Amino acid sequence: MVEFRITDLDVDVPRGLPIMWRGYKSSTGPLDLGLDDSTGISCGVMNYELGVVSTEFHVLVRFCRFALQLKALGIDVGLMPPIHAVLKTEGEILPDHSFNGGLRGTCKIESHKMFSSQDLRVEVLPGL
């Protein structure tokens, strides 16, 4: 078993996500995800005996363009603070000891002013 600490995460989702808010369809616009050191340490374990890696990322999801859209409509941008979440993933350890593109998992969303944790679901699917 090899334990490790995750020290960097920079993910951009340029197309964002579709959302329904107060009966209106909209888009979040681009999303930005990064590590959130305020809620815990992001870390993982590589279990070579089983050939799997498991990770726990403490992340912050930012909706910068969506907050600007709300502001333009006269809506308090305080409704759209970043979302704090914990992303737990697992995947196969590759022959070169990496696991790039092979992680999959789900996110536990913290309470948020605009989205309830029951209404918002985030999943990570393995990359190509």
Radius of gyration of the chain (CA): 17
CA separation for the pair 69, 65 (Å, rounded): 6
Tell me: the pLDDT tens digits for 33-80?
A: 899 988 889 999 999 999 999 999 998 888 877 777 777 778 777 767
Confidence of residue 5 (pLDDT cuts 50, 70, 90): very high
pTM: 0.75
pLDDT, position 110? 74
User: Domain limits at 53?
Assistant: 2-124
Q: Say how many domains are in the chain.
A: 1
Tell me: the pLDDT tens digits for 79-116?
A: 677 888 888 888 888 888 887 666 688 778 777 766 66
- pLDDT of residue 128 exceeding 70, the answer is no
Place of tokens 């989702």: 13
